[in-house]
Structure 1
Amino acid sequence: VAIKTLNPKWIEQFDLHMYSDQSKMLEITVWDKDYHNKDDIMGRCTIDLNTLEKETTHRIWKNLEDGAGSIFFLLTISGTQGTETISDLSACIVDPNEREKCVARYGFLYSLRNLKDIGHLTVKVFKAQGLAAADIGGKSDPFCVVELVNSRLQTHTEYKTLAPEWNKIFTFLVKDIHSVLEVTVYDEDRDKRCEFLGKVSIPLLKIKNGEKRWYALKDKKLRGRAKGQILLELDIVYNPVRASIRTFNPKEVKYMQSEQKFKRSIFMRNVHRMKTMALDFVEVAKFLNSCFQWESAPRSIVAFIAFLIIIYTVELYMVPIVLLLVFLKNYIIITVTGLSFINRDEEEVDFEDDDEEEEDDGKDTKGEEKKSLKEKLQAVQEVTAMVQNILGEIASMGERAKNTFNFSVPFLSWLAIFVLTVGTVVLYHVPIRYIFMAWGINKFTKKLRNPHAVPNNELLDFLSRVPDNDEKIMYKDIRPNVSLLTEADKRKTKKTS
């Protein structure tokens, strides 16, 4: 229930089973909740499911009949079973020229055509092994959900097994190469909500085309191991130019993502991240202060001479050169030593978890006094949650900036190097006033040229694609349980590792 609003956001998901002998008309009704009298209908709409393509997520705006307003929802017909379905691997006819046509469509010569079409992703879901038992009989009824931002497809359910074989193939249109593919295994339960069994998140840029491999499942937070592993094969084709242009535009918002509530463990982790980031600045401040205090005469002399030379010779075009030197230093370290910054950045501090979810059914059964107290506690929780999330955003932004220079995502680091190089050339040849004029003209006329344009900051949009340290932990692979694999799978696992 959305309280006291004419523009509600429900963020709810409903899974409905379809049968061949039932109507294919889906009816959606919006009601006004009245706690004292009978609920009033505000409008309704119907959808003919026969007209919708299967195994595709449809974005639908529908005007309400018998009322005012409209409703937006995502609708997917998926989880179909049988060899005649388009998602079944056995029914999939492989055209040897199909991939070549796809590669040609996203070739460099067609880079400026349809800039929103970044690429094409194919996901093959074969089977899973060693899943957790969710039923009393020591078995589960597992099905697999594959999500790419707001596109959501799923397999059928395999009943009474811990080693399901789905053999499904799904395709997605890629709108942002920096998106993350989420593969989640659930246990179906007709009497209550589906039970979570395990999950894996795979950034699209980490996909190795045509590699059929096992992925160890993780827990809900993607920080620890869950029971079981899943066999997937991924293939992605994309246009790097379109992907680069899309990087400097706002990310697609994921609708099924609830607002983060206050939790002590998350708050303490964000404080620790802020403390770690602040220590880096403290170390720099200590170094500068030691130069001023002449704690080491040779160091202070070098710093003093460098300061005079820099101030005397500095030009604006040298600023991006300094950033390029940071990239160069890190690249040399990674190339020469073979080490990366990832392990150090992924060090995690565990805090006591308090994941207890409180459910509110909206019923006031214990009087106005308790309701008033509940509202006060809710107000305090909202403030603490806001502080927690602000700390998290600041820490994330600092970590993203640092990880840009650490080649955590090589595509983004090389893109930044390219942009800085172009910026250096432009700043050297073009007076700064002309650059600011061009920037201002673009910003002022953007809404006139495109009334539906979303206001954005290109730098923040770029940084939003760089993973922070928490995300790097979530995307990190866990080695599959070798004891569950066959000898052929073991050999493949050794090769990929």
Structure 2
Amino acid sequence: MLDTCKLKSACNLPFVYNKKINTAGTSNAAVPLADPGMYQLDITLRRGQSLAARDRGGTSDPYVKFKIGGKEVFRSKIIHKNLNPVWEEKACILVEHLREPLYIKVFDYDFGLQDDFMGSAFLDLTQLELNRPTDVTLTLKDPHYPDHYLGIILLSIILTPKEGEHRDVTMLMRKSWKRSSKDLSENEVVGSYFSVKSFFWRTYGRPALPVLGFCRAEFQSTYSQNAQFQTQSLRLSDVHRKSQLWRGIVSITLIEGRDLKAMDSNGLSDPYVKFRLGHQKYKSKIMPKTLNPQWREQFDFHLYEERGGIIDITAWDKDAGKRDDFIGRCQVDLSALSREQTHKLELQLEEGEGHLVLLVTLTASATVSISDLSVNSLEDQKEREEILRRYSPLRIFHNLKDVGFLQVKVIRAEGLMVADVTGKSDPFCVVELNNDRLLTHTVYKNLNPEWNKIFTFNIKDIHSVLEVTVYDEDRDRSADFLGKVAIPLLSIQNGEQKAYVLKNKQLTGPTKGVIYLEIDVIFNAVKASLRTLIPKEQKYIEEENRLSKQLLLRNFNRMKRCVMVLVNAAFYINSCFDWDSPPRSLAAFVALYGTFINV
């Protein structure tokens, strides 16, 4: 049997060590490099000073890239027309060892052209003290012109060991090796290691992080006939559930803009908005010729840090054929927002004029949550009794807004539509109840995905409709629609697993595939009746209207029929004057004569 597996770094990237490395000062650690392990690098990009001018106006539009081992792990926002930019951006980076320095590169953003290089610097991570904030000043240099002064970059850095994550990966790796080592080749084991390692990065939400260095596996194994390989059980789903529940999902609904700055010669703008949280970015649709745009769009960010984060929001004016104009920016500090509550924010745009109105919700905890099928509140007798007691008739006047409890089991889908050129899809599922919106993970390259997730919601209106939509994930553009079902809460039969045929966006006809759901609804009938007297909750998310050939043809035929009615009426009146039918013309003459006499 396979008892142990040692993983060692086999090489370093030579181009890094051939260059001069800036250090962060002296280190108290007078020991050699630490053993390979996980480290968390918390970096705050403060500001730049006296940066090089790269534009004709004597300014630059600088932004910063962080690289480790030749891979980009962070990119800052762009500060327009400023040689002393202030970023105050935070980045959390996991590194596997400290042998690779942090490579900082500064560029000048040029729309439609290649960005201009403004300088670079290196930071030796081995010189940082553990668990202690360090302020670092890096002098930017150009390798081709080493004597030129290109300014400085100021950072604040905290280096923290992360042994827990390293042990988790080891346990996951061992769990996946259930077969005897006699049946495993070295290539198979190395492949298993990298598949687990890629799962680790995907689970913890850092797709841009590299596995630093080139790894080889050295095996020391012993064999026995009756020995069983026993390890502590740690399921992959536990780690995935940890990322879903503990980090959560940030749902942002961009409602409208008010009194935005006019950027065009006609006194209007064509505004759109960009959102960024770490490596996740979204862009709204463009609203032409308006200073008070109504977007009604919804975006979801995955929140991987317990302490929250900063969402950077920038507003732009679209200019065809040339560089878009900057309208203004604002930020949302997620650490200042409470969970499981929708916050309506009216944000003043900095460096510009106007406001943006947003709805921000941090979900995935107690009342609105995601978990595995193994964590089922209604199957636990005590929890079920507690939920039934909460919505019993005796608690009519306790929290009138809390009408009931909804649990949705998203089990699997079958026969989904092909969305990728490979003949497969990368499906994920979105479950919506009014303005609450939760997502499953993505099952890659599969037309018959199994999610096995449980979603729980608080019911505010028993007349609401549960919407379950399946999308295909596309990394470079918006997700592709695969199918949708809409289920009124009052029509749900508790505890029955049903197969629902997926329909199109308008729910007027079926599309390809079915989805298997099991739904339970528990509610207080008296509270639900009282809630009926209150106007229905407004849903802020609106689907973007797209051109439909069928709708266009239907409207064309309708207008054609209306025009033909008018044309036929004109021909009829004209035939009366032409005496094509003497009796009809005589009757028309008498009627017209009588009308004139009476008038």
TM-score, structure 1 as length reference = 0.47
Q: Which has the higher contact order (CA 8 A, sep 6+)?
A: 1
Structure (1 or 2) with the larger CA radius of gyration: 2
Which protein is richer in strand relative to its size? Answer: 2
Which protein is richer in helix relative to its size? Answer: 1
